[in-house]
Amino acid sequence: MLDAQTIKTIKATLPLIQQTGPDLTAHFYNRMFTYNPQLKDIFNMSNQRNGNQREALFNAICAYAANVDNLGALGPAVEKIAQKHTSFAIRPDQYQIVGTHLLATIEEMLNPGNEVLEAWGKAYQVLAGVFIQREEEIYQYNEHQPGGWRGTRAFRITDIQSRSSVIKSFELQPADGLPVESYKPGQYIAVWLKETGFSNQEIRQYSLTRAADGKSYRIAVKYEPQGTVSSWLHHHAQEGDSLDLAPPAGDFFIQAQPDTPITLISAGVGQTPMLAMLHSLANKKHMAPVVWLHAAKNGEADAFSEEVTQIGGRLARFDKAIWFSQPGVGDRGLYQHLGHMRLQNVERLISAPGMQFYFCGPLGFMQSVAQQLGEMGVDSSCMHYEVFGPHKVLAETMS
């Protein structure tokens, strides 16, 4: 626990930290990678270049400082970050490296004096301890689950299928032929790659796209022209190739009682965690209404459409609606609505009392969905979402 003077010092210096903006975390990352370049094998360097990781870390630092006297308020954020850290196999000693460079950054940019540096040092050690403890719990949980493991495990690609003009699915089976750990529908798996031509080892998280079967995993990957891993998977990966996986992780997953109405909302590749949820609901013979709402550019970009129809047909009460923003000449009958998703078009389908809404897609899309749901009177406690990449809070990013 932190003493009263340390808490007071942290809160007093928070405005100074806030004034730096993400420049603080830009300095931090540049410093850390200069002194510890081996960490480039852990961090997503694409998120470094586009600034997303810097912004996410800066927001996390400010949130921690603002709640340094009430760490319980940070519980959901800690869980989300800890889950992601375990997919990177983060170790306790790496927290010490981060702490060293964070304090050095504060000193070099702000020169606040020893009292302030000591306070931030104490506060960082407390926060690091929270993460280390929670992450060790997750590591041990994964290790002792049937089919579970710690660290990474060798898998082989056993099937590759084109699902749309930009999305391919990959079937992954363990190289040792043994069972694999189960997972909650909505969680992701981390793919570790170090291929010839890569500057660094690359780690990416991809949603698991069907219900757990204890034998294999399936992911779906959208091709990104500048994406190191997605480019390799789309253009170079072949059946029989090996890659390493960390155990399933993530705090975004469906939790539904049999009588809970569910709406699954997505755009583009954001449908991947929704697919696992839909499969799981069908396997459990969910009796309450299930609604599938999806937005895509056109029929060529609408992945898994036949699978959604097939799985939805196993549910007692299933409805779906599709939006195409730029339909092609042959897309008639493949969509119900033109343009961007407008939930008022389907309000009659999604107005059941107690309905829970799960959504995923580009940030702007999710901001729009959250705003529309709010305007329809849906409480935020009924909204559950996943941001691919560094986390953002939708309420804080809506304009």
Contact yes or no for 157/240 (Cβ under 8 A): yes
Distance CA 283, CA 266 (A): 21
64 is catalytic: no
Strand (E) or helix (H) holding 106? helix 92-110
In the chain, what is the straight-line distance between the N-terminal and C-terminal CA atoms, in Å?
Answer: 37
Contact yes or no for 252/273 (Cβ under 8 A): yes
195 exposure class (CB count in 10 Å sphere: 0-12, 13-18, 19+): middle
Contact yes or no for 89/141 (Cβ under 8 A): no
294 contacts: CB under 8 Å, gap ≥ 6:
265, 266, 267, 271, 274, 302, 308, 320, 321, 322, 323
Sheet harboring 153-162: ordered strands across?
Answer: 202-207, 188-193, 242-249, 153-162, 167-174, 217-222
Within 13 Å, how many C-alpha atoms sit on residue 83's CB side? 19
The catalytically annotated residue of 135, 181, 202, 386 is 135
Strand partners, 154: 244
- The candidate with the shortest Cα–Cα distance to 318, out of 361, 344, 287, is 287
Give me 62's structure tokens: 């400010």
Instruction: Name the binding residues for FAD.
Output: 188, 204-207, 387-390
143 is catalytic: no
Instruction: Name the binding residues for heme b.
Output: 85
Instruction: Name the binding residues.
Output: 85, 188, 204-207, 268-273, 387-390
Distance CA 206, CA 224 (A): 14
Give me 260's structure tokens: 């809970």
The catalytically annotated residue of 64, 95, 335, 358 is 95
Longest CA–CA span in the chain (Å) reads: 69
CA 250 to chain centre: 7
Q: Hey, which residues are catalytic here?
A: 95, 135
